Structure formats: C-alpha cells, structure tokens
C-alpha cells in the first residue's frame, strides 16, 4: 500500500529458472556412485547406510518439529514399532520382508494415529512432554514383553532379498536405503510446496488464522504426525533387516533425542537438511567414539560430554541449524512462477444488495462472571460498509470472534443469509463466505507474502497430501497462486509479493491480511482495525479499495478507532460500550448521539 | 497383601516421593524464574551424593576439578558476552568469582578431605563444591540463549544433561557409591522404623516447599524473580537484572540438588546416572504441579512415589511403564485446562 | 547545557546487518515534551529502544550530561529514565498492583508505597482493578498500567512508544491529558506517535523521522502548520 508511486517490478517477467533441482539431481547421482569407487572401505559404506537410516527419521522430524512446531521425543518409538513388527513376522512366521514392509508401516501408522490423537491436541510444552512420557513407557514395554523377546530382542531377522539375491552386506542394502531417502526428500519438499504444505507451515504461529480460512488444524497436525511416523517406520523396517536383529536399545528416548539433535543440527529450512543433520551427528559420534579413547585412553565416555556441548553450541550460535550455512553455497531457489493464464478459480455469486446478510439476535458472551457481549442485536445489509465502534474492551473483537465461530456464544443467535451459523466451526463459517482479518496480525513472518495470501484460498482448492507429494496438484496450485497474486496486486503490495512477510511494516501486514481474506472469495469481510498504523495517505488508499469492493457487491464490517476514516467510509454504524449496544445509525446520527459522545468520542470530537 | 506390607510400601513410596518432590520443587523454581525445563537437576543430585560418598572415604572428589573447569569456562563466556563494555573492575570481579573462588575451594578440599571429617562437615564441603556450579552452568549454557523459546531452552537443557551425565561417568566411574549416614537415629513407629536419614529428607522437602512458596509470593524480590520469566524485557525495563535472577535460581537449584544427593547417598547406592532417573520422576511431579505450584508438586511427587511402590509390588516388571503412562492423562487434562495461546509460544 | 536532559547525537542502530537508524540527533530539554513522528518502519521504535539500552548503538547518548551509551537498561532505569514500550511488556499473569510495585523495584519501600498512592491518584481505574491480572485488562487499561509502572520508578524522563495505538478516541484524549499533567509535575517526555495530530498538539518541539533519518525538526506548532506535514501525516481535518 505504501510507496505505490515507485515503479513496481514487472511481475510477469519469467524469473530465471533456478539451477537448484539440477544441483539436487547431481547430488543424488553422486551419492549413488559412492559405493562404486574402487577400493572404498566397507566401513564407510556402513556409515553411509546409518546416515541414510537416520536421515529418513530426521526428514519426518523436520516436517513435524521444524515446520509444524511439534517437538517429538518419540520418533525412535515409531522405528521400534516397525522393526519389531517385521522381526516378528519374518523371524517367527517366515513372511517375506517386502510384504511385511506394508504391515510394519500399517501397524506403525495405526499406533501413530492412536498416539497422535492423544498427543497432537496438547498445547505448548505439554506436547513434547507427552511424547517423552509415552516414548519412555513404550521403550520399557518393548523390553518387558515376552513375545518381543524382552531385553534380548529377536534374532536372527532374515535379510532383504530379491529372488535368490540377498541384501546381506552394507554395499547392497545401501541402494535400498538411499532410494528411500531420496524419494522421501522429493516427496516431502513437494508436500511443503503445496496447499497442504501452507497449512502445515501455518500450524506454527498462525493456527487460529488458518482455522479461519478453513484449515482443519487438528487434522493437519495429525497428518504431519502420521507422515513423520511413516518415515520412521520405513527406517525401522530397514534397520531390522540390515542389523538382522532387534532389541529395545535403539528405540529408546536416547535415540529419539539423537534424532531430534539431527533435526536441530540440520535446521528446518529444507527436508534435505535432514541428511546434513544425520551425517553431522552420525559422523560426530563415530569420530568421538574412535578418537577420544585414543586421545584420553581408557573409557570412551567423553562422547556424551562432547555431544551435549555441541548440541548446546549449535543452539547458541545458529538456532536455524547448519542448513543456512549449506544453503549459502547452493544456487538460489527461484521465486515461484505465477501463471497468469491459469483459469480463474470459481467465484461465489454475491447476495443481492440490500438483503439482510448478517443478523445478530440477543447475542451474549460471558467469560466466567464477566459479560463481554451483553444481548446485542443488530443486522447488516448486503452491499454496505458497516462500522462497529466503541471503547477498548467494549466487546468488538469478541463480537467478531462470535460471528466467525472462534468463540462459542453463551446465548442468542447469529444468522448469515437466513441460515443460523452460531454453533458452526470457524471452518464451516469460512466456507460460507465470511473472511476476516485480526486485531493482532496473524501472519507467518518467515513465509513469503504470496504464500501467506494463498493460504486464504485454502477452501477453493482440494489437493491433499498424496497428490501434493506426487506433484499431481500443479494445475490447481497454479490457479491458487494466480489468485493470490491478483489479490496482492489489488491491495497494492505487488512489489513485495516474493518478500518474506516479516520484512513488511505492521501497516503493510494489515493490508496483507486483507488480501488473504479476499482470497477466500468472501461475501462478508470482517476487518479488525485495518487502518491502525497507516499514514493518512495510506488510509485514503484503503478507503478507495473498500469502496471498490462495495461496488462489486461485497459487504464489509469493520472495527476501527480512526473516526475520520469510519465516518467518511461507512453507511451504517453500531456502537458498543461495556458489551452493550448504545447506539446505531448513520455516521451523522451516531456522531451526534449523546451516549456515544459521552462513552466514546469525547466532547471535542 | 496384609496391612504391614501395605505400610512398608507406603513408607517406601513416601520416602522416594519426598526425594522426587525435592527435584520437582527445583524444576518448578528454575522454570518460574528462567523458563528452563531444567533436566540436569538430577546431575546436581548425583554430584552431591558421590562427592559426599568420596569425602567419607577421605578421597578428594573429582567434582573439585569439575568446579574449576566450570569456573574457567564461565569466566571466558562472561568476558566474551560483555566484550563491548569491559573494564578493569569487571575483570577483577569475574576473576575473583570464577577463577579464584573455585581454586580456593579446591585447595581447601584437598587439605581437608584426607582428615576424614565427620559427616556434617563433609556435607558442608559438598555444598561448597556443588553450589557455585549452578551459576557457572547458567552463564555457560543458558545465558547466551536466555531469550529463546521454552522449547529451545528445553533442548539446550537436554544437551547440558548429556554432558553432565557424561562428566559424572568420567569423574566417578561406573561403580556406585554409598555414604555413611548423617544420623544413626531410628524411631520405631508401629511396625515401621523411621530413621533420622528419612526424617531429614521429609523435613528438607517440607521446609523447602514452604520457603519457596513464601519467597516467590510475598517479598518483592521473589516477585521480581518470577517477573523475569513472565516478561524478560518488562523485567529489565523496571530495573531487574535478569541475568542475576537466573544465577540466583541456579544457586538455589544447586544447593537443593546437592542436599538432596547428600541426604539420599546413605540410603541407597548412587550411580553416575541415578540422578537422572530420580529427576525424571521429580519432573513428572513438577508437570502435574503445572510447573507453578510447590505444594501441588510435592503432593504429586508423593503420589508418584506411592504409585511406584505399589506398582513394583503388584507388577514389578511394568513399574516404569505404569508410572510413565499415568502421566499422559494428566498432561491431557492440564493442557485442556490451561488456556494456552500457542501463538505466543514462538 | 544544564537544561538539556537527554541529548542523542549521531546515533546509528542496526538489527543484525540491517541498519535502521542512520545518524540521528535528538535533544530533550528538561521540562519539555518532545515528539518524534513518522511512518511505520521509519525507525522511531528502534530509536527509543536504543535510547533505553535495549538495542546496542553507536554514537553518543547523554543523560543529564553523563554518557550512558554503554550503560545496561537496568542502570538507566536507576538513573532516572523509563520507557513504556509499544507492546507494553506487562507481567500478564501478575495482578495490577504487583506490576506497579515491581515498577518501583529500584526505589526504597517507603518511597514505593508513596509512589503507588500517587499512581493510583493519577489512574483511579488501576486502583479499582488492583487485584485483577494484568493480562485480563482492556487495551486502554493496559496502556495506563504500563505508564503507571514506568512512573513508579520516579523517572525524570519518560519515553512513550505509541501510547495511543489501538485506543478509543476518549481514552486517547485521556492519555494525552495525562501526558500534559506529567509535564506540569516536572517529568520530561519523549513521545513517539503515529497520531501526529495529537502529538503535535501536546508537544513543545518535534522531529519528523523518515527511513531512519530526521528529515524535519522544529517547534511543534510550526511543524503542524507545515504543508508537507499536513499532507502526509495530518490530512485535512475531517472532524
């Protein structure tokens, strides 16, 4: 919105294609060539095998912890579920390992769903503590159950085989492991770069905003949780057939902490960071266990000491992990290409002007003893700009939260186009065409402006995890990005489209939230203090935009303290004080109303 | 099961519970001031117990070298962090508190240890060795990331735990030790016998609980310490030295930890990793106490101790499984009842 | 020189590698209200944070003639300056009264009790709500509490960052009349505001900050009449 006069970059110009995919492809080929190096010691190959196994778990953890914000101390447990399942099936029942892969993964995912349903709703630090609790409990359980061989475990587990060829040595299983790793990196980065990916990224720091745009955050959390468990399951299955034995030790909390260490060391920037994290930790451990006894003689237990110190140092010096250091050496990723020719997303018809679009009847909200909204009734007609004003704490934002379903009503009813919407979830209300912005900006600062705005179009797409990770969602994704770009330009943020949202000023972020709300294709737009932090000039631009939206048939309800702005723009004003409606009418009527002057405007307004 | 066995189990559970309670209280204390979920508290217990046990045998405990090491590292970290406004006064102060002090303590211990002093004197020496480690540790590991999120601090705490447990193994070896009792008192109570040792643990737990509850809720200084955790910038803006708050919390944590260790060392054999296992259960109690209430934490700790004692009687195989599974419904309940805004927990 | 309470000269402040304030000089004479107006992101908050010692800076900051550039925040509070930050930074889970008492952390307990009475006289609303948790207050009450807490330290210089942001017109008027009262009570004020109209009305002198630099300065009344200021920051009076 600001600096609209400066020339904006031609957005349509195709950006230079990034060489980054080429880089990753080359890296994959190099990895596959390593075992073919003549004379390379088996020991090195074994190390790479271990790195690959750990990387699989760490990729899931990066998605879960780094991106989704759920710290898990239980990933090794999921490896254990799969490893024990395949060990029991193959060692005791003679099943083929390839067949048992599916059963092992299924058992683990089932366990993950059960544990996830308990864990995922936990808030704040309760979540990692929860994973710690079941991680420890299940570890002890592995060691106590007779049919899992108690502390001795199960041995021997047959190796993987195709026909008569057995993947016995580290060299042959190397390819199996790394094919899985590369597929996992590929699918995970696809997933992040999609409709579902935006929803996952919103879990951390903007989950209530995501709910208001139709994201089922609990379900999304569960999806990420199970996805991470699936990768851990594959790792556990491979481990059982590579070691050809299972016992509880590698599935304890110690191992889980190590995986977490890898994810932290790698950083959350990219799924491939997991490989760096896994390599770093595995090699560090190897060096420490071999080098330290050599230096200090005798006991080899300095490794734990150094391990802890390195973990602390990484967190102190580079909280983003090692990936930013690696990334500096890589080709820059290209800005996403916006396909202007993508067919527009379908739009809902706007209700006929003058029809009652929103109707509140005796709406009441009580927090324990405190009445925040006290039997308030008012209605808004389609195609008008309405204002909701009143002193701080009068219940304006609470009213917004009641209309959008973020808070449940104590009593009363709310109708939207004759349909009762009180009692519906924020997602259901969003689906009916009500979009909002927030008083305290809820934007993902480390995501681009484009992706932030595209989150608003969540309900206008349908691609899920499977189609996203296999890249079958590109047509729909192009439509969504084109829509987001259109709305960004419309509100005047075009030149900031590919910047990180965090680099924008607060006033611009409020405008970004309007673009995001427009992406929902709303009939009713709720704006909470949209002009706060804008300069006079910028406020005029915002007014013009809102007038234009009105002329297109959209209805706007806004909360705002800038009386010049409100009086100038709105058709109809409702005034609240202490949760009670004290006045209602045109701007001219309201500004002369004695109760309003006394409670809100003051004498000299 | 007859009532005598039940009584024995209860006594056992309460004694262990009191120990867990001490660790739980300290977890709450450190969290209330610094937002750190202080996993390594168990290591202070181990260090305290093993230091006392070694002093009993007239040997110089390895912790004195650890103390000097911690001091020296903390000295350099301190200088590095304040490199922009270093002056002579500051360097002298840091040298005195972080280099000279631990060296003096070490010299004193080397001189006193072979004299095989009575248990109470050894207890004081143990406290002198362990207490300064608290603030040194805070300076080294936590002060540089004091503003980080609870989760980052938690992972740092786990790193510190790994290192300290590893150092415990290096300095004390894998073998367990046991100290001589501080008191030989024993009171018969019905079929049970209450020893002076267990009595002292009960008293320590109750006194610490009461003192901390008072300290953090009544005097302004205690409130200021809590304010540090609630809003660090806000605390600085009213003139509270937030790094000092952290150091004070760690001094208290180290003292309580060392005392806990010293009092439990005569009752059970302590290994280098015993502290962590006790700590985990204290930790559970602290979580049940919402990381906020001292009395609730102690009650929860007693419940954990009793549950564990009963579980070990009925299903000794599954003792740990039961204890750790029991905490999950508690977490769910706590999470639902706390109106936690995750947006703020970035 | 002696009537100069705060003197900032040639101040540079950076966030990481990005420099946000480039060579800014500002003076606050004793007993005056000085305001800094400017757009979002112009560096006003950064300037205040550096003046308070929350952010490291290069240049010179003198308070009552002493160079305090290297002083930590805590010492500046003790020295007689306090900041009411944009985000208030209250102790949300503590009652109003504890928030205020902690504001007087560095003064003696008898002074603290007297100061508390004074703050309660100035903000009767806070007295009514003394047992309520700070986190449950409304926006206006929070701003009052933040100001009250800063006044508990008996500052000679009070720095206010966007005190009117997000507040209803009547409360904004309240806040500005309190600012006027404080000046009469001998507290000097450095005020950063988006509400340029109200700020210029209350201030003695003013600075305009744009993109990290001071672009205009002068008597508040003169700036309020400057056509450029009117166009960008004030607009034509619409009410």
Question: Greater confidence, B276 or B240?
Answer: B240
Which of A507, A537, A601 has its CB closest to that of C170?
A: A601
Complete DSSP assignment for B42-54: HHHHHHHHHHHHH
pLDDT for res B36: 93
Q: Do A602 and C39 touch (CB under 8 A)?
A: no
B239 contact C CB<8A: yes
Distance from CA of B152 to the nearest CA of A (A): 7
Q: Do A311 and B159 touch (CB under 8 A)?
A: yes
B84 contact C CB<8A: yes
C101 contact B CB<8A: yes
C193 contact A CB<8A: no
* Residues of chain C contacting residue A567, judged by C-beta atoms under 8 Å apart: 238-239
Q: Which two tokens stand for residue C199?
A: 């700020």
What ipTM was reported for this prediction?
A: 0.93
Q: Is residue A131 scored above 60 in pLDDT?
A: yes
Give the sign of the dihedral formed by CA A542, CA A547, CA A552, CA A556.
positive
* Residues of chain B contacting residue A126, judged by C-beta atoms under 8 Å apart: 287, 331, 334-335, 338, 340
d(CA A25, CA A23): 5
* Residues of chain B contacting residue A137, judged by C-beta atoms under 8 Å apart: 320-321, 324-325, 328
Neighbour subunits, C (≥3 Cβ pairs < 8 A): A, B
Q: How far is CA B1 from the centre of its chain?
A: 36
A331: confidence class by pLDDT, cuts 50, 70, 90: confident
d(CA A144, CA B109): 45
Using CA atoms, how far residue B49 sits from A344, B26, B165, B169, in Å, is: 72, 17, 14, 14
Q: Is residue A6 scored above 50 in pLDDT?
A: no
* DSSP bridge partners of C65: none
Using CA atoms, how far residue B164 sits from B46, C89, C236, in Å, is: 10, 35, 67
Ramachandran region, residue A10 (left: φ > 0; alpha: ψ -120 to 50; beta: rest): beta
Select from C4, C1, A206, C179 the least CA-distant residue to A215. Answer: A206
CB A464 within 8 A of CB A227: no
Q: Do A304 and B163 touch (CB under 8 A)?
A: yes
d(CA B247, CA B241): 10
Other CB atoms within 10 Å distance of the CB of residue A93: 8
CB A158 within 8 A of CB A90: yes
pLDDT for res A391: 86
b/e A29-64 (16+ beta carbons within 10 angstroms → b): eebeeebeeeeeeeeebbbbbbbbbbbbbbbbbbbb
For chain B, the C-alpha Rg in angstroms (whole number) is 20
Place of tokens 């006991």: A299
CB C141 within 8 A of CB C98: no
* DSSP bridge partners of A557: A386, A526
Distance from CA of A317 to the nearest CA of B (A): 9
Q: Do B238 and C109 touch (CB under 8 A)?
A: no
Which of A125, A308, A442 has its CB closest to that of B159?
A: A308
pLDDT for res A296: 66
User: For A117-131, A229-243, C69-83, C172-186, which range has the lowest pLDDT when averaged over its residues?
Assistant: A117-131
Which of C72, C92, C149 has its CB closest to that of B238?
A: C149
Q: Which two tokens stand for residue C102?
A: 């902690």
- Chain C residue with the nearest C-alpha to that of B85: C70
pLDDT for res B214: 96
What would the pLDDT profile of A35-86 be if each residue is shown by its tens digit? 888 888 888 999 999 999 999 999 999 999 989 989 999 999 999 999 999 9
Which of B226, B233, B240 has its CB closest to that of C105?
A: B240
User: For A119-123, A171-175, A433-437, A502-506, which range has the lowest pLDDT when averaged over its residues?
Assistant: A502-506
* Residues of chain A contacting residue B338, judged by C-beta atoms under 8 Å apart: 123-124, 126
10 Å CB burial of residue A328 (0-12, 13-18, 19+) is exposed
Distance from CA of B171 to the nearest CA of A (A): 11
Question: Nearest 5°: phi and psi at A589?
Answer: -65, -45
Task: Give the percent of chain A with pLDDT over 70.
Answer: 96
User: For A194, which DSSP code?
Assistant: S
Specify the pairing of strand A419-420 against strand A411-416.
Answer: antiparallel
* Residues of chain C contacting residue B235, judged by C-beta atoms under 8 Å apart: 91, 102
- Chain A residue with the nearest C-alpha to that of C230: A536
Place of tokens 């700590």: B279
Arithmetic mean of pLDDT, B245-272: 92
* Residues of chain A contacting residue C173, judged by C-beta atoms under 8 Å apart: 602, 604
Tell me how far apart the terminal alpha carbons of chain B are, to the nearest angstrom. 51
Residue A102, C-beta contacts closer than 8 angstroms, at least 6 positions apart:
none
Interface with chain C: mutation pick from A4, A319, A391, A531, highest number of C CBs within 10 Å: A391
What would the pLDDT profile of B171-228 be if each residue is shown by its tens digit? 888 888 888 887 778 888 888 888 888 899 999 999 999 999 999 999 999 999 999 9
CB A131 within 8 A of CB A119: yes
- Chain B residue with the nearest C-alpha to that of C83: B237
Which of B160, B170, B346 has its CB closest to that of A308?
A: B160
C217: part of which helix (H) or strand (E)?
Answer: strand C213-219
Q: Is residue A518 scored above 50 in pLDDT?
A: yes
Place of tokens 């492809």: A25
CA triple A149-A152-A155, angle to 5 deg: 75
Residue A602, C-beta contacts closer than 8 angstroms, at least 6 positions apart:
C169, C170, C173
Distance from CA of B31 to the nearest CA of A (A): 12
pLDDT for res B277: 83
DSSP collapsed to 3 states, B78-100: HHHHCHHHCCHHHHHHHHHHHHH
Distance from CA of C56 to the nearest CA of B (A): 10
Give the sign of the dihedral formed by CA A245, CA A249, CA A253, CA A258.
negative
Size of interface A-C (CB pairs under 8 A): 79
Distance from CA of C1 to the nearest CA of A (A): 36
- Chain A residue with the nearest C-alpha to that of B338: A123
Segment of A70-74, A104-108, B119-123, B241-245 carrying the highest mean pLDDT: A104-108
A272: confidence class by pLDDT, cuts 50, 70, 90: confident
Other CB atoms within 10 Å distance of the CB of residue A329: 7
Q: Is residue B230 scored above 80 in pLDDT?
A: yes
The structure's pTM equals: 0.87
Task: Give the percent of chain A with pLDDT over 90.
Answer: 59
Distance from CA of B64 to the nearest CA of C (A): 34
Q: Do C140 and A392 touch (CB under 8 A)?
A: yes
Question: Greater confidence, B252 or A299?
Answer: B252
d(CA B121, CA B131): 15
SS3 A20: helix
Complete DSSP assignment for A34-56: GGGSTT--HHHHHHHHHHHHHHH
Q: Where are the beta strands (DSSP E) in B95-243?
A: 186-189, 192-195
Per-position pLDDT tens, chain C of length 239: 458 999 999 999 987 667 889 999 999 999 999 999 987 778 899 999 999 999 989 999 999 999 999 889 999 999 999 999 988 999 999 999 999 999 999 999 999 999 999 999 999 999 999 999 998 888 889 999 999 999 999 999 999 999 988 888 888 888 999 999 999 999 999 999 888 888 999 999 999 998 889 999 999 999 988 888 887 777 654 43
C136 contact B CB<8A: no
A14: confidence class by pLDDT, cuts 50, 70, 90: very low
B330: part of which helix (H) or strand (E)?
Answer: helix B319-337
Which of C56, C82, C94 has its CB closest to that of B237?
A: C82
SS3 A298: coil
d(CA A21, CA A24): 5
Q: Do C40 and A534 touch (CB under 8 A)?
A: yes
d(CA A580, CA A365): 11
B230 contact C CB<8A: yes
Q: Is residue A8 scored above 60 in pLDDT?
A: no
Neighbour subunits, B (≥3 Cβ pairs < 8 A): A, C
């Amino acid at each position: 919105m600001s600096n609209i006069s400066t020339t904006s970059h031609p957005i349509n110009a195709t950006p230079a294609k990034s060489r980054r995919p080429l880089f990753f492809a080359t890296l994959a080929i190099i990895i596959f060539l390593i075992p073919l190096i003549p004379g390379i010691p088996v020991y090195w190959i074994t190390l790479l095998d271990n790195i690959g196994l750990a990387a699989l778990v760490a990729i899931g953890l990066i998605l879960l912890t780094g991106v989704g914000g759920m710290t898990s101390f239980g990933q090794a447990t999921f490896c254990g579920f799969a490893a024990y399942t395949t060990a029991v099936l193959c060692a005791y029942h003679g099943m083929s390992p390839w067949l048992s892969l599916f059963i092992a993964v299924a058992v683990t995912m089932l366990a993950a769903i059960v544990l996830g349903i308990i864990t995922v709703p936990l808030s704040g630090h309760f979540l990692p503590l929860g994973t710690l609790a079941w991680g420890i409990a299940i570890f002890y359980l592995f060691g106590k159950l007779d049919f899992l061989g108690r502390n001795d475990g199960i041995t021997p587990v047959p190796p993987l085989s195709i026909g008569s060829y057995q993947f016995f040595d580290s060299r042959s299983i190397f390819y199996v492991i790394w094919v899985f790793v590369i597929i996992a990196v590929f699918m995970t980065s696809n997933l992040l770069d999609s409709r579902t990916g935006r929803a996952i990224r919103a879990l951390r720091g903007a989950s209530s905003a995501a709910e208001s745009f139709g994201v089922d955050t609990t379900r999304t959390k569960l999806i990420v949780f199970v996805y991470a468990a699936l990768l851990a399951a594959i790792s556990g299955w491979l481990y059982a057939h590579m070691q050809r034995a299972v016992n509880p030790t590698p599935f304890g909390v110690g191992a889980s902490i190590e995986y977490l260490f890898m994810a932290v060391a790698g950083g959350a920037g990219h799924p491939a960071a997991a490989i760096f994290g896994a390599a770093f930790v595995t090699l560090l451990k190897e060096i420490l266990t071999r080098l330290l006894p050599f230096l200090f003689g005798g006991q080899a237990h300095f490794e734990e000491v150094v391990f802890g110190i390195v973990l602390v140092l990484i967190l102190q010096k580079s909280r983003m992990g090692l990936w930013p250091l690696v990334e500096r050496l890589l080709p820059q990723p290209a800005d996403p290409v916006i396909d202007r020719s993508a067919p527009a997303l379908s739009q809902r018809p706007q209700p006929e002007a003058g029809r009652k679009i929103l109707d509140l009847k005796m709406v009441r909200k009580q927090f324990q003893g405190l009445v925040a909204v006290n039997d308030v009734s008012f209605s808004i007609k389609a195609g008008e700009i309405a204002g909701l004003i009143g002193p701080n704490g009068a219940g304006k934002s609470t009213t917004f939260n009641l209309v959008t379903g973020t808070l449940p009503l104590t009593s009363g009813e709310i109708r939207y186009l004759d349909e009762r919407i009180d009692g519906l979830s924020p997602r259901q209300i969003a689906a009916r065409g009500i979009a909002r912005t927030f008083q305290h900006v809820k934007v993902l600062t480390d995501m681009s402006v484009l992706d932030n705005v595209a989150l608003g179009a969540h309900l206008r797409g349908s691609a899920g995890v499977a189609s996203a990770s296999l890249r079958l969602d590109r047509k729909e994704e192009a439509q969504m990005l084109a829509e987001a770009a259109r709305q960004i330009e419309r509100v005047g943020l075009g030149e900031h489209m590919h910047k990180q949202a965090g680099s924008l000023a607060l006033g611009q972020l409020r405008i970004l939230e309007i673009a995001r709300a427009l992406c929902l294709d709303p009939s009713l737009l709720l704006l909470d203090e949209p002009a706060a932090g804008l300069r006079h000039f910028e406020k005029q631009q915002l007014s013009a935009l809102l007038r234009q939206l009105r002329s297109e048939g959209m209805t706007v309800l806004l909360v705002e303290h800038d009386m010049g702005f409100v009086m100038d723009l709105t058709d109809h004003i409702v005034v609240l004080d202490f949760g009670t409606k004290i006045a209602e009418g045109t701007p001219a009527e309201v500004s002369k109303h004695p109760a309003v002057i006394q409670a809100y405007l003051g004498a000299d307004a | 099961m007859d009532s005598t066995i039940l009584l024995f189990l209860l006594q056992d559970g309460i004694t262990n519970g009191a120990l867990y309670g001490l660790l739980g209280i300290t977890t709450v204390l450190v969290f209330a001031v610094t937002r750190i979920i202080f996993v390594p508290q168990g290591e202070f217990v181990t260090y305290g117990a093993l230091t006392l046990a070694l002093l009993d045998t007239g040997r110089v405990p390895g912790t004195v070298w650890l103390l000097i090491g911690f001091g020296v590292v903390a000295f350099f970290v301190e200088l590095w962090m304040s490199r922009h406004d270093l002056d002579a006064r500051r360097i002298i102060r840091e040298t005195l508190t972080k280099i000279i002090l631990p060296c003096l303590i070490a010299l004193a211990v080397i001189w006193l240890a072979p004299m095989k002093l009575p248990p109470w004197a050894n207890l004081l020496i143990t406290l002198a060795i362990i207490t300064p480690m608290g603030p040194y540790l805070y300076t080294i590991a936590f002060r540089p990331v004091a503003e980080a999120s609870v989760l980052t601090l938690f992972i740092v705490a786990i790193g510190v735990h790994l290192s300290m447990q590893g150092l415990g193994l290096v300095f004390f070896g894998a073998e367990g030790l046991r100290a001589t009792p501080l008191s030989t008192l024993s009171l018969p109570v019905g079929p049970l016998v209450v020893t002076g040792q267990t009595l002292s643990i009960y008293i320590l737990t109750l006194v610490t609980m009461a003192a901390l509850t008072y300290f953090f809720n009544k005097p302004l200084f205690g409130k200021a310490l809590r304010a540090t955790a609630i809003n660090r910038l806000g605390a600085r803006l009213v003139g509270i030295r937030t790094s000092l708050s952290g150091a004070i919390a760690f001094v208290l944590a180290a003292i309580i930890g060392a005392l806990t260790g010293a009092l439990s060392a005569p009752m059970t054999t302590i290994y280098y990793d015993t502290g962590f296992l006790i700590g985990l259960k204290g930790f559970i109690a602290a979580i049940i106490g919402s990381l906020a209430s001292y009395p609730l934490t102690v009650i929860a700790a007693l419940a954990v101790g009793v549950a564990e004692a009963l579980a070990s009687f009925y299903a000794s195989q599954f003792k740990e499984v039961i204890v750790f599974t029991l905490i999950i419904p508690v977490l769910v309940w706590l999470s639902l009842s706390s109106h936690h805004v995750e947006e703020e927990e970035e | 020189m002696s009537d100069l309470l705060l003197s900032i000269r040639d101040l540079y402040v950076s966030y990481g590698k990005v420099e946000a304030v480039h060579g800014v000089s500002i003076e606050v004479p004793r007993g005056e209200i000085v305001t800094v107006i400017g757009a979002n992101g112009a560096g006003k908050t950064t300037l205040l944070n550096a003046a308070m010692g929350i952010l490291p800076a290069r240049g010179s900051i003198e308070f009552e003639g002493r160079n305090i550039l290297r002083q930590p925040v805590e010492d500046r509070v003790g020295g007689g300056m306090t900041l009411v930050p944009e985000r208030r930074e209250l102790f949300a889970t503590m009652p109003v009264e504890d928030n205020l008492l902690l504001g007087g952390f560095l003064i003696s307990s008898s002074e603290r009790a007297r100061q508390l009475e004074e703050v309660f006289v100035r903000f009767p609303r806070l007295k009514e709500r003394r047992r309520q948790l700070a986190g449950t207050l409304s926006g206006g009450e929070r701003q009052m509490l933040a100001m009250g807490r800063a006044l508990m330290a008996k500052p000679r210089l009070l720095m206010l960052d966007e005190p009117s942001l997000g507040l209803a017109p009547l409360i904004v008027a309240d806040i500005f009349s309190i600012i006027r009262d404080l000046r009469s009570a001998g507290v000097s004020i450095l005020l950063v505001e988006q509400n340029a109209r109200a700020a210029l009305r209350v201030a003695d002198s003013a600075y305009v900050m744009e993109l990290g630099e001071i672009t205009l300065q002068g008597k508040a009344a003169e700036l309020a009449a400057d056509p450029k200021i009117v166009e960008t920051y004030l607009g034509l009076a619409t009410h």
